[in-house]
Amino acid sequence: MKSVIYETKGRAREYNELAINLFSGCDHQCIYCYGADVTHQTEESFKKNVKARVTIMDIEESARAWHAKGETRRVLLCFVTDPYQKMEQEAHLTRAAINILHRNGLNVIILTKGGMRSTRDFDLLTSKDAYATTLTCVGPKDSLEWEPGAALPIERIHALELAHERGIETWVSFEPVIYPKETVALLELTHEFVGHYKVGIMNYHEHGKTIDWYAYGYSMLNELQKRSAKYYFKKDLLKNMKVDPAQFKQTWVCR
């Protein structure tokens, strides 16, 4: 049986080395989403026909196999989809997945735009796990335009605060970047309770071609350093900044 926990490649590996995708689509309906393309689905199917991609038995067998090999790395939930969507089914599958991974010595990284829905599983997370969210817009109007099914930014930020208060490691993905000035504003709103930031660009959408990534990259670097925030700049952004990734001093080791 093919393992449902897998080694990531390419851009995904800059988020985490191991991942599992619990669902076959995502009802957040973000207009910049590339999920349909990489999973070989129509956009309508990916966004409206969301169902479980794996079973509890799949997760159990995969976790046991990785544990038997002595694996200790954390597993990202999820990369191509989101572990906290509106569908009722995920209320059981995501929680079960966290429990199974923990029982097999594997800790987790939650990456979600689900906001307060995700906080129901905070009782399972420990200081060895991590909680992360993607932040793109400040206000509800822009968020609803770009990410109509996702939790609003204020809700995602509040979930980060709650995770931090519980001693859970937190981080934010600043990718995709839609409005550079709003990304800076989001940094200001969150830097006191966010452990580090993964900073990228906007791929897969025409809007990304309208942004001066060179200027954005250096501006963002300055803003992060002013706040003594830890960061990981993704290779796509460094390329636009005309920087050799091997020569760029990251203050957070991507893991």
Give 106-123 pLDDT, tens digit per residue: 999 999 999 999 999 999
- Rg (alpha carbons) of the chain, rounded to whole number: 17
On average, the pLDDT of the chain sits at: 93
Is the pLDDT score of 39 beyond 90? no
| Its pTM surpasses 0.85 | yes
Closest alpha carbon to 113 in 156, 52, 143, 75:
156
Please check whether residue 46 is in contact with residue 25, taking contact to mean a CB–CB distance below 8 angstroms.
Answer: yes
Q: Is the pLDDT of residue 197 over 60?
A: yes
Question: What confidence category does residue 230 fall into, taking pLDDT thresholds of 50, 70 and 90?
Answer: very high
Q: Is residue 247 part of a domain?
A: no
List the alpha helices (DSSP H) in the chain: 35-38, 43-48, 56-68, 90-103, 140-146, 153-165, 180-190, 213-226, 235-240
Task: Name the burial class of residue 233, with classes exposed (0-12), middle (13-18) and buried (19+) by CB atoms within 10 angstroms of its CB.
Answer: buried
| List of residues 6+ apart from 74 with CB closer than 8 A | 16, 18, 106, 107, 108, 109, 128, 129, 130, 255
Instruction: Report the pLDDT value the prediction gives residue 50, as an integer from 0 to 100.
Output: 86
Residue 255, pLDDT score = 60
CATH code (residue 160): 3.20.20.70
Picking from 84, 186, 92, 210, the residue whose alpha carbon sits closest to that of residue 199 is: 186
Query: CA distances (Å), 218 to each of 242, 249, 254, in order?
Result: 11, 13, 20
Instruction: Report the alpha-carbon angle 46-157-216, nearest 5.
Output: 80
Q: Half-sphere exposure of residue 61, counting CA atoms within 13 Å on the CB side? A: 9
Residue 197 inside a domain? The answer is yes
Among 36-40, 131-135, 192-196, the least confident range: 36-40
176: cis peptide before it, omega within 30°?
yes
Q: How many domains does the chain have?
A: 1
Question: Do 164 and 196 touch, CB atoms closer than 8 A?
Answer: no
Which residues have CB under 8 Å from 236's CB, separation 6+?
11, 200, 201, 203
Whether residue 165 is predicted with pLDDT greater than 70 in this model: the reply is yes
Burial of 123 (0-12, 13-18, 19+ CB in 10 A): exposed
Provide the β-strand partners of residue 109.
Answer: 76, 130
- Would you say residue 183 lies in a domain? yes
251: pLDDT strictly greater than 70: yes
Residue 250 domain flag: no
Residue with the two structure tokens 């930031």 = 197
The two tokens of residue 96 are 């079960």
Supply the pLDDT for residue 47. 76
Indicate whether 222 belongs to any domain.
Answer: yes
Asked, for residue 1, whether it belongs to a domain, the answer is no
Domain that holds residue 230: 6-240
Residue 255 covered by a domain: no
